[in-house]
């Protein structure tokens, strides 16, 4: 019975609900813009990781190394694009 029960997924589900509640608290609680944004960003990325690994089974197939490589490559490019754009469009004029 123990082997059949998807403990990891259930825990992941509870965890992702928790993340949602934390994110939601930004709306209901009174806090500064910066703090609110930080909470939203952090919970969003953790949430995405949980979904990818636990519910889209990123780490469970044979080609898991190529899946993680692609994700990593995508994240690097996305970060470069976002921060590069900020640099060229906003920070570069301060």
Region binding other proteins by CB under 8 A among candidate stretches 16-24, 31-39, 41-49, 66-74: 66-74
Please report whether residue 83 would count as binding other proteins according to CB under 8 A: no
Token look-up 């993680």 returns 68
Residue for token pair 């190394």: 65
* DSSP classification of residue 28: H
33 binds other proteins (CB under 8 A): no
Does 89 sit near other proteins (CB under 8 A)? yes
- Rounded CA-CA distance 19/40 in Å is 10
Which lies closer to other proteins via its Cβ, residue 5 or residue 93?
93
C-alpha span between 80 and 88 (Å, rounded): 12
Question: Rule CB under 8 A: which residues touch other proteins?
Answer: 66, 73-74, 76-77, 80-81, 84-85, 87-89, 91-94
């Amino acid at each position: 019975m123990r082997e059949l029960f998807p403990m990891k997924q259930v825990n992941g589900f509870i965890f992702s609900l928790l993340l949602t509640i934390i994110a939601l608290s930004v709306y209901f609680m009174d806090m500064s813009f910066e703090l609110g944004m930080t909470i939203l960003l952090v919970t969003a990325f953790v949430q995405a990781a949980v979904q990818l690994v636990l519910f889209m089974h990123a780490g469970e197939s044979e080609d898991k190394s190529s899946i993680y490589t692609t994700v990593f490559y995508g994240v690097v490019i996305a970060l470069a694009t976002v921060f590069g754009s900020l640099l060229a469009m906003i920070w570069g004029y301060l």
